[in-house]
Structure 1
């Protein structure tokens, strides 16, 4: 093999190696920036991270995990308050913080649009601006709940309903097993390469769809369906 050919091969190998390293950096960056679900709290040893002998810390991680998977916004808000107490007593922050849990509780409460949940979360929020947002959300939720009541009566009479969502078909074409949520409500798990159908009721104009990785807890994909629909197909890639 000539020296020129050897040099060309060596240059190609170096170029490919550099490209792989560049790709690795991009992938790492994307994972680092991905939204992390607070259900990962079940892996956190809060007693060790805070360094204080508070008994409730022993089960707090699992309480956060269970409330997020349910999902239970009010339960998450309660867990956030417990975390805040531990933060004040210890003067430290754990790898999952009270602000992070409360933020997720507020977001889920708004997505689900249940007036009683919104009111419960509002009672545990100290920020006046957020309280105002929740007050408005409560009023909107009560309107939707009245519409839902009317729909139930219409169904009983055999009339057409006003529901914004009916059949949701999910095709999981990504490389991860995912938990699927619609409007902040847990629907189920869709494994890699599989499809699943769910029946969804949502009286909000916007139906937020989210898919979280079962294993690592990060947000894999998100979508939004708007308007009156009785069927929707979502491809998760």
Structure 2
């Protein structure tokens, strides 16, 4: 009888542990080499801590993040446009409100001659970059990069005269005095909401996460 009781409570403990594991996502994919993402990782960490969870960021190229999510190597992705949903082939949940709105733009060296004569830089694999680059082909030459970090370094070296990125990234880099020659925004390409995505197994956590966003507005200063 005693042995049965022990087994019964052990079974309940397993159920409880499993439920807890399913509540907390553990690995979240972020786009590698994106200064904006790296600059706001702390905000996401603090939200997860407030909700009783600890996460690990996995830095991946944009397309590989989708692949890892689909094969369940990561539990979710952060700072993603809703168009990514077409690429997911497993059940998912999305934050009920956007984390923030991303102002995607074309930036140029303030020296017009440099801006016009040198190539435009973009990051391959970021959908809006790829789409704009495809429409830009007849207007001038371009150079693709594996990450925004590499692209910004190329701008600083003078290898490119313009580039694509979001306003938030430029704001963060300017605050860090990264640019010797600050680029100027010449064209807003889109102003779109960014969301947090998780495997559908974490629907309960996503409800709590969304409620936290509504109540505390942790990304307000970045919009």
Tell me, yes or no, whether TM beats 0.5.
no
Q: State the TM-score, normalizing by the size of structure 2.
A: 0.28
Report which of the two has the higher share of helix. 1
Q: State the TM-score, normalizing by the size of structure 1.
A: 0.27
Report which of the two has the higher share of strand. 2
Q: Which of the two has higher C-alpha Rg? A: 1
